[in-house]
């Protein structure tokens, strides 16, 4: 007999129809708040209420776009090879541009919407569909367009952004070089100014300086934002951004521009990635995106920002929007995978007690453990990313340092979570998960690169740690960051609280469920790791080790600090969402999810908590037992929770995740396989 723990929930679980046959999934049809299921549930919690809690004032925008995505016009065909697929993706982009979806972040005076939050919501929503469309959309309207918006002058914005909005001039973002991926500061492409002609000469000095894996470059890009070293009157002023033509309106490459198609990839084959080199390509002086620095006709350099390092990091502010957007898209990918897997697990039956009906997969503890903690974390990441988007939207032109740190931390956390969640969901669906029609293979391959573009996660987590150490944006990533290590280490002894031995032994359920306990334990972990990192670095530097080698020697510790910061952000954002829930019943449900997320993260870090004296063995065991019980408690709510993501069936496009599947799987093999 399978026991459940429904009585521990502070609300009445919705009655299940699990005994009604293989077609009963216990949920709605996943088409949104108007038809998603149990709107008459006596607890007052239904998928529509969950969706409204997730989306807030962005719900109407999201609903309109999803409605468009249900039609064939925004669904590219993949059936006729890579070249045709690329053209299909471009066709979809032209439709999105025609309808105004790409220009929402741009100022209203150039035909945009002036709404950064709406722009990120569009990107997040497109991530439920074809991810090649998403990435090509992000390259053109996001990276290319936003680089003009944030680095260009009013003249650049007025001239170029209308062309970006209409997709009249498809664009690229040419930063990464073959030999310099994450190390942007050492880029070797040059932009030499000639005062006689008043032109910059863009040049690739060696094969390692080729702009590599540039999206939109192999086939369609006509313009590119090219990051190159600005040289004038014999001085090198470091990396700056230039608008450089790649092709004419007929698609022919400009003189001196060479592009190599990088061909097929693991995923995202609707995006035309290419490698670009420049052989003495001349562009007008006005091609320099000169919001922060300019070159006068006589070659004199002028900047409102003192110091090459500060200018460099100010210019890299364009990457913040990209990192936030990738984090949001990663959460959408997790929602897609979980919707398919939870619905399938609620419908698919296997084994059972002797003489009794077979049980749905979700009745098994191992299956609950595989999916429900990941479902809880997906909710938490949604709220954390949404908070960061709101803060970024307040100052998109000059985001505060803490927002840049949050964006880096959450991009790393969300993209890693998406990859692990997609794989878990694939396994949770067994053989059906391996069927191409159920999307897991495509989803996994397309999302894989999220862990490396817009900043490799390993590098981003180190930037988070360095940002937390210094609290100064202009020092982030610079070796001068280590000037403050001595002071941070000195403070470690006085600021760091010791673990409470009484609390370390507490195992009662009320304590383990206490949001204050969750908040404090994650803050303690972040601060403890941060201060011990400062101490380790100080010991090495004061002992004569140079800062670079000291950082490399402590690199694992830097990564741990970055992950701990992300964990704390998610826990706190989740608790804020619980507090502002529209009804007590919804607050209770979100509170259970927040508790499951926090305890699961504690369980995963149990070794650290034991070593640090935060917990004793009895407490880590009690955490594990409560995680099991919470999975059982929330089992009945798995379907409404994924229905609350509001992904329409035609957008989800996976037979295993359909609310009302056909009686037979593809191929009409017979009902005995259902």
Maximum Cα–Cα distance across the chain: 92
* Pick from 648, 182, 193: nearest CA to 454: 182
Of 94-98, 181-185, 236-240, 426-430, the least confident: 181-185
Report percent pLDDT > 70 for the chain: 86
**CATH (residue range 171-309):** 2.40.110.10
Give the pLDDT confidence score for residue 34 in this predicted structure: 32
CATH fold label, 318-643: Butyryl-CoA Dehydrogenase, subunit A; domain 3 (1.20.140)
| Residues 624 and 513 sit within 8 Å (Cβ to Cβ) | no
Tell me whether the CATH fold assigned to 66-166 matches the one assigned to 318-643.
no
- Mean pLDDT over residues 51-60, rounded? 95
DSSP 506-531: ---HHHHH-HHHHHHHHHHHHHHHHH
User: Strand pairing of 349-350 and 359-360?
Assistant: antiparallel
Residue 593 has pLDDT above 90, yes or no: yes
For residue 159, the model assigns a pLDDT of 95
The model carries a pTM of 0.88
Residues 110-119 pLDDT 10s: 889 999 999 9
Q: What is the DSSP letter of 32?
A: -
Going by pLDDT thresholds of 50, 70 and 90, the confidence category of residue 129 is: very high
Those residues whose C-beta lies under 8 Å from the C-beta of residue 31, and which sit 6 or more positions away, are 646, 648, 649, 659
Give the mean pLDDT of 500-510: 82
Share of the chain above pLDDT 90, in %: 72
Positive or negative torsion for Cα 290, 291, 297, 303: negative
Mean pLDDT, range 74-85, rounded to an integer: 91
380: closest CA among 334, 349, 434, 422?
A: 334
pLDDT digits (tens, 9 = 90+) for 2-11: 222 222 333 3
In the predicted structure, residue 158 carries a pLDDT above the cut 70:
yes
pLDDT range class, residue 455, cuts 50, 70, 90 = confident
Which helix (H) or strand (E) segment holds residue 215: the answer is strand 211-215
**Residues whose CB falls within 8 Å of the CB of residue 79, separated by 6 or more in sequence, listed in order:** none
Q: Are 430 and 350 in contact (CB under 8 A)?
A: no
The whole-number pLDDT of residue 521 equals 94
pLDDT category of residue 502 using cuts at 50, 70 and 90: low
Q: Is the pLDDT of residue 422 over 60?
A: yes
CA distance between the termini of the chain: 24
**Strand residues in 503-615 grouped as ranges (E):** none
Residue 136 has pLDDT above 50, yes or no: yes
pLDDT in tens, 456-486: 999 999 999 988 987 533 333 343 445 555 5
When the pLDDT of each residue in the chain is averaged and rounded to a whole number, the result is 87
pLDDT score, position 443: 97
**Dihedral sign computed on CA atoms, order 277, 278, 284, 289:** positive
Please, which pLDDT band fits residue 499 given cuts at 50, 70 and 90? Answer: low
Mean pLDDT, residues 247-274: 96
**How many Cα atoms within 13 Å fall on the side-chain side of residue 487?**
7
pLDDT tens digits for range 344-398: 999 998 888 888 888 999 999 999 999 999 999 999 999 999 999 999 999 888 8
For residue 96, with 0-12 CB atoms within 10 Å meaning exposed, 13-18 middle and 19 or more buried, which class applies?
buried
**Residue range 418-431: mean pLDDT, rounded:** 97
Where b means 16+ CB within 10 Å and e means fewer, 239-257 reads: bbbbbbbbbeeeeeeeebb
Sequence length of the chain is: 674
Query: 3-state DSSP call for residue 242?
Result: strand
Domain extents for the chain?
Answer: 66-166, 171-309, 318-643
Angle of helix 457-470 relative to helix 555-579, nearest 10 degrees, comes to 80
* pLDDT recorded at residue 664: 45
For residue 51, give the 3-state DSSP assignment.
helix
Quote the distance between the C-alpha of residue 507 and its chain's center: 35
pLDDT of residue 119: 96
Q: Categorize the per-residue pLDDT at 35 as very low, low, confident or very high, splitting at 50, 70 and 90.
A: very low
pLDDT score recorded for residue 485? 57
C-beta neighbour count of 275 within 10 angstroms: 20
Whole-number Å distance between alpha carbons of 404 and 478:
15
Angstrom distance (rounded) from CA 664 to CA 671: 5
pLDDT number for residue 556: 96
Mean pLDDT of 618-646: 95
Residue 242 in this model has a pLDDT that exceeds 80 = yes
Residue 13 has pLDDT above 60, yes or no: no
561 pLDDT above the threshold of 80: yes
Q: What is the mean pLDDT of residues 397-413?
A: 92
Q: What is the CATH number of domain 66-166?
A: 1.10.540.10
pLDDT grade, residue 12 (50/70/90)? very low
Position 181 confidence tier, pLDDT thresholds 50, 70, 90: confident
């Amino acid at each position: 007999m399978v026991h459940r723990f429904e009585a521990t929930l502070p609300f009445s679980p919705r009655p299940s129809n699990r005994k009604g046959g293989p077609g009963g999934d216990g949920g709605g049809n996943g088409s949104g708040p108007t038809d998603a299921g149990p709107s008459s549930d006596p607890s007052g919690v239904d998928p529509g209420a969950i969706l409204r809690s997730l989306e807030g004032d962005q719900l109407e925008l999201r609903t309109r776009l999803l409605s468009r995505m249900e039609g064939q016009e925004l669904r590219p065909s993949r059936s006729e090879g890579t070249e045709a697929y690329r053209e299909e993706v471009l066709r979809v982009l032209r439709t999105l541009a025609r309808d105004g979806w790409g220009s929402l972040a741009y100022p209203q005076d150039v035909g945009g919407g002036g709404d950064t939050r709406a722009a990120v919501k569009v990107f997040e929503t497109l991530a439920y569909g074809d991810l090649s469309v998403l990435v090509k959309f992000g390259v053109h309207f996001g990276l290319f367009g936003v680089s003009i918006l944030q680095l260009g002058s009013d003249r650049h914005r007025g001239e170029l952004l209308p062309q970006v909005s209409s997709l009249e001039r498809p664009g690229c973002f040419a930063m990464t070089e073959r030999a310099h991926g994450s190390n942007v500061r050492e880029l070797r492409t040059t932009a030499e100014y000639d005062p006689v002609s008043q032109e910059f000469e863009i040049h690739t000095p060696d094969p390692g300086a080729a702009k590599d894996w540039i999206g939109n470059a192999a086939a369609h890009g006509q313009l590119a934002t090219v990051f190159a070293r600005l040289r004038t009157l014999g001085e090198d002023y470091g990396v700056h951004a230039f608008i450089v033509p790649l092709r004419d309106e007929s698609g022919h490459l400009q003189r001196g521009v060479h592009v190599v198609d990088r061909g097929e990839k693991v995923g995202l084959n609707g995006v035309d990635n290419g490698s670009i080199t420049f052989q003495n390509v001349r562009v007008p002086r006005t091609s320099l995106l000169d919001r922060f620095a300019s070159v006068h006709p006589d070659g004199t350099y002028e900047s409102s920002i003192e110091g090459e390092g500060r200018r460099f990091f100010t210019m890299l502010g364009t990457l913040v929007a990209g990192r936030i957007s990738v984090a949001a898209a990663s959460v959408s990918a997790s929602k897609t995978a979980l919707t398919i897997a939870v619905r399938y697990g609620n419908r698919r039956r296997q084994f059972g007690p002797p003489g009794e009906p077979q049980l749905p997969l979700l009745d098994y503890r191992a299956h609950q453990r595989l999916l429900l903690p990941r479902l809880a974390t997906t909710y938490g990441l949604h709220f954390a990313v949404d908070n960061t988007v709101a803060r970024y939207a307040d100052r998109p032109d000059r985001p505060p340092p803490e927002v840049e740190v949050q964006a880096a931390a959450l991009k790393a956390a969300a993209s890693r979570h998406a990859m692990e969640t997609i794989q878990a969901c694939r396994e949770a669906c067994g053989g059906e998960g391996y069927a191409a029609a159920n999307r897991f293979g495509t989803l996994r391959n397309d999302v894989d690169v999220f862990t490396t573009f817009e900043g490799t996660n390993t590098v981003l987590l180190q930037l988070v740690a360095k940002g937390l150490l210094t609290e100064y944006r202009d020092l982030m990533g610079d070796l001068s960051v280590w000037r403050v290590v001595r002071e941070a280490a000195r403070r470690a002894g006085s600021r760091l609280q010791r673990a409470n031995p009484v609390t370390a032994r507490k195992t009662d359920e009320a304590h383990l469920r206490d949001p204050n306990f969750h908040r404090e334990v994650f803050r303690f972990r972040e601060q403890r790791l941060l201060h011990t990192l400062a101490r380790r670095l100080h010991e090495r530097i004061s002992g004569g080790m140079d800062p670079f080698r000291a950082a490399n020697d402590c690199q694992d510790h830097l990564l741990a600090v970055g992950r701990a910061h992300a964990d704390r952000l998610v826990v706190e954002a989740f608790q804020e969402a619980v507090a502002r829930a529209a009804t007590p019943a919804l607050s209770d449900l979100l509170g259970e999810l927040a508790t499951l997320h926090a305890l699961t993260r504690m369980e995963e870090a149990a070794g650290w908590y034991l070593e640090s004296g935060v917990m004793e063995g009895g407490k880590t065991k009690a955490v594990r037992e409560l995680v099991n019980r919470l999975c059982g408690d929330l089992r009945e709510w798995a379907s409404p929770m994924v229905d609350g993501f509001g992904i329409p069936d035609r957008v989800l496009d996976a037979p295993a995740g359909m609310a009302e599947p056909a009686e037979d799987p593809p191929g009409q093999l017979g009902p005995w396989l259902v």
